[in-house]
Structure 1
Amino acid sequence: MAESEPNWDWYRSFLQVLETGSLSAAGRRLGLAQPTVGRHIDGLEAALGLKLFTRSSDGFSPTDAACELRSFAAHLAATEAALRRVASGHGSGVRGTVRVTASEVVGVEVLPPILAALHEKHPELTIELVLSNEADDLLRRESDIAVRMFRPVQEVLVAKRIGGIEVGLHAHERYLARYGVPTSMDELSRHSIIGFDQENAFVRSIQEKCRALTRNYFAFRADSHLAQLSAIRAGLGIGFCQTQLAARDQSLVRVLQHEFSLTMDTWIVMHEDLRSSARYAVTFEALAAGLKAYIQGESSFPLQD
């Protein structure tokens, strides 16, 4: 390895080239000129004594060495981002940046009014919202606070159970007017069912309720929960939807309520080292209060004083 140490800008460029496959695309994301990104890659390769990319007319293809370094560079990125968030909050009052992660549907359909009220009360607070159905690592500070549908097991995490979000089968009234309302689970075979493409824990929980609901059963498949929700609203078929969310829209009708129901345990989680910081504590409690109101079917999401 060369004696010169790589700087963080080189690793940032490395990650973006890995994700985009080109210098120009990486430069656009970073706000840098293409030659600058190229110099960063050249400098990192020289400093590490490794070939990280194979150049071709199709772009930059990562070598085996680059693939092995990806996770370490990603950890550096998470640490650097967490450092900036911590630094942003120093000063009096509730101020600075808090990074929140939640599932697609909760992040798009449920959290915005909660976060809007939070920002109105604390205008110097900045929220970064990450939409992901994967569990970000709070121990590595990929996020500060997470809304999760399972109980965390790490002892160093502060976790608060909010309650259970019920999921049922729903369809748009336009679809039901055209194809009828199923009166039993067996009748679902005559309907267009909206479901998942890849198996996951939620799919397996669905199959425990009805073994017939396999991938081949679905007329519309998408791993995005938002895409499934949009398909239900468009009248494409019968799909899985949070009952509290469907209750907001009178055109969405629940079917087979007594035959099919799932409950997703809902938790708010953060690292215990953050609870002494005002901005994390305020955000944590606001999310807890807002989600509890949502679960209880309240029309507004109050903030706790």
Structure 2
Amino acid sequence: MASTLPWDLLHSFLGVLREGSLSGAARLLDLTQPTVGRHVAALEQALGQPLFTRSSTGLLPTEAALSLRVHAEQMEVAAAALQRAATARGDEVRGTVRVTASEVIGVEVLAGVFAALREAHPGLVLELALSNQLQDLLRREADIAVRMTPPEQGQLIARRIGSIELGLHARPDYLDRHGRPTSLADMAGHTLVGFDRVTPFTRAGVKRLGGITRDSFALRCDSDLAQLALIRAGGGIGACQVALARREPPLERVLADQFSWPLETWVAMHEDLRQNTPCRVVFDALVEGLSRYVGS
């Protein structure tokens, strides 16, 4: 096996893994199908073992391919981080910065921050990765993270913004039709909006809701944005950030004295990026924008 494997071979390998075919990988990577095929064949020759088998549904990864996936993805993350770092030019606010945040924060709060950043610094390229999964800043899966839990990894610069409060809300006309609950027990007679899959985060939330569980939700979805849309559409009662509920159209809070869930909010980045001008500018803008939101 060659002592080093060209990144383009591994890039094509990941494309085939994700798409399940040479043609799909070619479209994903903006390459020709023969080029992707040559890359996979060259990688198989270098490794001395097959990576895919043909089936009626496409290309199936072998055990060897599956075992290589995590390592290739780590290289992909490192290559992307290298490319972002290479675009930074001294003290200029120019280059690519990747930010990860939850769906709701990214769409409802950070979109305005990003728009203002681009207006002030046209040389910035901003990548927004929306996910409720924690991205690993030490592995440089992102440059900056907005998190609802205190960062536990070392080697991070972290700024605590404050607490974002979650409360139970519904559209006023829904409550006009179905009544306003006076206790958590009254919620049994309402359409509730909530999660589908149980996670440690959702498990912590339902502990605050007494006897309400996943089975209590008539409208289930794991997308926080979709849950918010269902509440705003008048579908029922669900958890929503209190600051968002004040926006147009306003939502009405219920049982404020019985359910309140403060989420600590942090902005974090790897300490190696302290001297990276674009990252520092974006970090400061996120702190300022989120601080305004928390105080609203």
TM-score when normalising by structure 1: 0.94
Deviation at 1:250, TM superposition (A): 3.8
The answer on whether the counterparts of 1:195 and 1:222 sit within 8 Å (CA) in structure 2 is yes
Question: Amino acid of the residue matched to residue 146 of structure 2?
Answer: V
Measure, in 1, the Cα distance between the counterparts of 2:210 and 2:43: 52
Would you say 1:141 and 2:140 are equivalent positions?
yes
Alignment of 1:52-63 (within 5 A): 52-63=51-62
Would you say 1:120 and 2:140 are equivalent positions?
no
Deviation at 1:242, TM superposition (A): 0.5
- Equivalent in the alignment of 2:267: 268
- Equivalent in the alignment of 1:28: 27
- Equivalent in the alignment of 2:248: 249
Structure 1 ranges of 4+ moved more than 2 A:
2-6
- Equivalent in the alignment of 2:6: 7
Measure, in 1, the Cα distance between the counterparts of 2:49 and 2:220: 42
- Equivalent in the alignment of 1:94: 93
The answer on whether the counterparts of 1:5 and 1:47 sit within 8 Å (CA) in structure 2 is no
5+ residue gaps, structure 1: 298-305
Alignment of 1:1-305 (within 5 A): 2-3=1-2, 5-297=4-296
| Structure 1 pair 82–129 and aligned structure 2 pair: CA distance change class (3 A) | same
Question: Amino acid of the residue matched to residue 24 of structure 2?
Answer: A
The answer on whether the counterparts of 2:81 and 2:141 sit within 8 Å (CA) in structure 1 is yes
5+ residue gaps, structure 2: none
Deviation at 1:3, TM superposition (A): 3.8
Deviations 1:140-180 (A, max 9, x none): 11100000011112220000000000001111223222212
Measure, in 2, the Cα distance between the counterparts of 1:173 and 1:202: 28
Identity, in percent, stands at 54
Question: Amino acid of the residue matched to residue 247 of structure 2?
Answer: R
Measure, in 1, the Cα distance between the counterparts of 2:235 and 2:183: 20
Question: Amino acid of the residue matched to residue 246 of structure 1?
Answer: A
Deviation at 1:288, TM superposition (A): 0.2
Deviation at 1:5, TM superposition (A): 4.4
Deviation at 1:273, TM superposition (A): 0.7
Deviation at 1:12, TM superposition (A): 0.9
Deviation at 1:251, TM superposition (A): 3.6
The answer on whether the counterparts of 2:228 and 2:240 sit within 8 Å (CA) in structure 1 is yes
Deviation at 1:92, TM superposition (A): 4.6
SS state at 1:74 partner: helix
TM-score when normalising by structure 2: 0.97
Deviation at 1:75, TM superposition (A): 0.4
Deviation at 1:6, TM superposition (A): 2.9
| Structure 1 pair 154–24 and aligned structure 2 pair: CA distance change class (3 A) | same
Question: Amino acid of the residue matched to residue 180 of structure 1?
Answer: G
Aligned-CA RMSD value: 1.3
Deviation at 1:68, TM superposition (A): 1.0
Measure, in 2, the Cα distance between the counterparts of 1:122 and 1:39: 41
When the two structures are aligned, how many residues end up with a matched partner?
296
Deviations 1:92-147 (A, max 9, x none): 52111110000001011110111111111111111111001111110011100000
Question: Amino acid of the residue matched to residue 210 of structure 1?
Answer: L
Deviation at 1:283, TM superposition (A): 0.6
